[in-house]
Amino acid sequence: MTTTKGFFQEVYELVKQVPEGRVVTYGQIAAALGDARRARTVGWAMRACPDDVPWHRVVNARGGLSTGSPSGTFNLQRALLEDEGVQFDSNGRINLSIYGWYELQRTASAPKLDDLGACDNPAKKV
C-alpha cells in the first residue's frame, strides 16, 4: 500500500514539471496520477508542499485561484504568476487555453490513487 506521504511526493514531482509562465489544474494532476475525481486530495498535498515546489502554478478548473479569499496567500499566488507573465481577466481568472500546460508526465513509480487506501479526510493517517 502506498502512503499518503508517497502520494504527496508524486504530486510535487508533477508540479515541478510545470514551466514558468504556465499553470495546471488540481484535476489535471489527479488525472495524471490515475483519478481525476481526486482533485481535492491534490489540494491537500499542495497545502503541505515544500518550498521547492512551485505551488503557485496550480489553479482550479476555471483558471481561478483557490488559496482562499483575497488574503496574503491569494495575493502572493497572483503576484508570483503575474511576475511570470501570466495574465488574469477581469474576473480574476487565467485563460487556460493560453496559459494552461498539458504535458504532465507521470513517473513509472507514481502510485495510482486507488492504491493509496486513502481516506477523504486529510486528518486521518493511512
Mean pLDDT score, 44-57: 94
DSSP code of 71?
S
More confident residue, 67 or 16: 16
pTM of the model: 0.79
CA distances from 38 to 5, 28, 33, 110, 113 (A): 15, 10, 9, 15, 8
Q: In the CATH scheme, what is the code of domain 4-105?
A: 1.10.10.10
Nearest to 22 by CA among 63, 52, 62: 63
The yes-or-no verdict on residue 113 having pLDDT over 50 is no
117 within 8 A of 126, measured Cβ to Cβ: yes
On the CB side of 93, CA atoms within 13 Å amount to: 11
